[in-house]
Chain A
Amino acid sequence: MRFQDAAKDARTVVYAGIQADPLVARLAALAAGASYPQRLMARAVMNGESTDPATWRTIFPSILGPHAPDRERAEALLAASLEVAERGEQARSQYRGAFVEELTEILVRRRVGAAAGPAVRRERRVLFDGVAAEIHPYDLTVEVPGRAEAWDCKWGARGINADVLNQLDDARRHAADEETPLRVGLVVYDVRVSCAVRLAGQTAPRQGTVVVTLEALDALAGRKPA
């Protein structure tokens, strides 16, 4: 098993610009230290119609109210989420995707530690001897021998589909054929119930695929959810 950079096409070049936008990094850094309710608020705002912060303060009094714990972070998260919401529909969708990838990278890096930092990579393909390479790269890989991981990141449960599940499971099985462990998973910035409903409608194999939902994101960092 070996890893390889994905080929760049026009779409990936445009998307790379969004991934590099400081807003994505700021939003992800805020969300990485946030609680589940704060993360849920950010999801609602980035998916919402209203861009008036007062509306969201009204909807989330326990997060953005005057007595809310860690209110400074919540307000910063609200402001950054509104910046995403204010983009056009297509850009908003791309920013949300880039955000989930960045957030995943931050949390995974916390778990693997600074020494293994260079082994955490983005947009990489996983190659196996005698097996045709998958077209789509993985959003994030951990390329530590014996502890390799491959993750796909999704904004919502709707991103879970047969293609994604099959690709992840194929990678895991091919790695096993080479007697190399490969942890595969999906990071979904959506609630567990929705992911469970989505998965229930899928026939693709998923037993060996980890699904990390909004409630459990801290597990990526090796922490129990708050």
Chain B
Amino acid sequence: MPDPSPLTLSDATRGGALAAALAAVDALAELGETVEDEWTYVTALAEAGRARLRAAAGPDTALPIPGESGLAVATACAEVARITDPHRAIDWLSTFPAVVELVLADAPTTADDASRAAGDTPRTAGDAPGTAGRAPGAPGREA
């Protein structure tokens, strides 16, 4: 499992968040794979999780992320590091990428957004923190 401390990202960018999250997924997969009957599922789930994280990080991985987003990802990775039960690891392998996706959805995805978030440009009305994110987990088609 990754070192759970300190609770900061060494690289406070979308790429840094991605790297930390991918390491956490690797750790969850390694633990989850010890449930032999679920090896195939865990392997496929981890790959889907990695793909989801890369998509959430977006193409411009050098973009900085706000401090609270970095702390959120680092804390989520620390929570992953606490897991020792392989069955719980499999459950987290399912949940963790969606959690990081949610965090990154609220972080800037363009240089202009990043500048605005850094205070270079005043926020527009209604552009409240935490409400600007795209909706991860868009409407499903299953139902």
Contact = CB atoms under 8 A, between A and B. Distances in A.
Q: Do A and B originate from a single complex?
A: yes
Interface of A: 36-37, 40, 43-44, 47-50, 55, 58-63, 65, 67-69, 89, 156-158, 185, 190-198, 200-201, 210-216, 219-220, 224-225
Interface in B98-143: 98-99, 102-103, 105-106, 128-131, 133, 135-143
Interface in B36-82: 38, 40-41, 44-45, 48-49, 52, 68-69, 71-72, 75-76, 79, 82
B10 interface: no
A48 B79 contact: yes
B48 A195 contact: no
Contacts of A196: 48
A200 B99 CA distance: 23
29 contacts: A37-B136, A37-B137, A40-B102, A43-B95, A44-B95, A44-B96, A44-B99, A47-B91, A59-B72, A59-B76, A59-B79, A59-B103, A60-B99, A67-B130, A69-B131, A158-B41, A158-B91, A190-B95, A191-B95, A191-B98, A192-B137, A192-B142, A193-B48, A194-B94, A197-B45, A215-B137, A216-B139, A216-B140, A219-B140
Contact of A215 (B7, B44, B95, B138): B138
5 smallest CB-CB distances across A and B, nearest first, come from A216-B140, A219-B143, A62-B130, A215-B137, A194-B94
A68 B72 CA distance: 15
Interface residues of B, number: 47
A92 to B, nearest CB: 10
A40 B99 contact: yes
Given A61-B69, A194-B45, A212-B143, A47 B95 contact: yes
Contact of A40 (B69, B95, B106, B128): B95
A61 B92 contact: no
A interface secondary structure, majority: helix
